[in-house]
Amino acid sequence: MKIALIGYGKMGKAIEAIAVAKGHEISHIIDRDSQHLLEKENLQGADVAIEFTTPETAFSNILKCFEAGVPVVCGTTGWLEHLPEVTAACLEKHQAFLYASNFSIGVNIFFELNKKLAELMGPHTDYNVQMEEIHHTQKKDAPSGTAITLAEQILAASKAKNTRVNEGTHDADKLGIVSKRIDPAPGTHIVNYTSTIDDITIIHTAHSRQGFASGAVKAAEWLKDKKGVFSMKDVLNL
């Protein structure tokens, strides 16, 4: 495939290395100094775009890809207030879009474990559930997109919690998420249920960005030639 990389930070470079190793061509590298490549006439040669930028630019970047008829795999977090608009634009223009808060295969399996555990624990209000996430200091959003996904799964099943807060809390109706920024941590997510009798804890720890980058390339391979709005659950058949 010909892949347009939108965003050329550490994740973009990790994606580039894996894509090239798998025999794909990086047709465009688009960062702050090459925004002209996002114009329709320049972007149309790409088979798929992989977008890892900032919450402030992701929405515009995605719409420009739709205008060029290029499918988009997006891993930028912190912009999801615009997701309904992106979904509508994708369907209206008969394009393809895949968003994930985390592309790691392990994390997506972790999502399924978290969802099932939340469903099992939902009726047991004597357990208090809280979360913690740890990332590197360059992480721009807090809580992380992965943590938000985990929290939404818990809130959907919980009989006690009805909202999330980005801090530790003793309020029974609030799900606390403690966000820590420590270098060089690529990402750790902890979900902890505590009671006076025992604790249940599930943890996912990433050792590097390679899992995220590899999953993003896998998603791009899967999305090529499709139409519609998808997630990693579709890619991994979860």
Distance CA 71, CA 212 (A): 19
Rg of the chain's alpha carbons, rounded to an integer? 19
Task: Please give the single-letter amino acid code of residue 29.
Answer: I
Does 174 qualify as catalytic in the annotation?
no
- Residue tagged active-site, from 24, 64, 115, 135: 135
In sequence order, which ranges of the chain are alpha helices (DSSP H)?
Answer: 10-21, 40-43, 58-68, 83-92, 105-121, 145-157, 210-223, 232-236
Rounded to 5 degrees, φ, ψ at 212 are -65, -45
- Catalytic one of 24, 28, 64, 139: 139
Distance, CA of 219 to CA of 236 (rounded, Å): 9
Active-site residue flag, 139: yes
d(CA 49, CA 146) in angstroms, rounded, equals: 21
User: Is the distance from CB of 164 to CB of 151 less than 8 angstroms?
Assistant: yes
For the annotated catalytic residues, the residue numbers are 135, 139
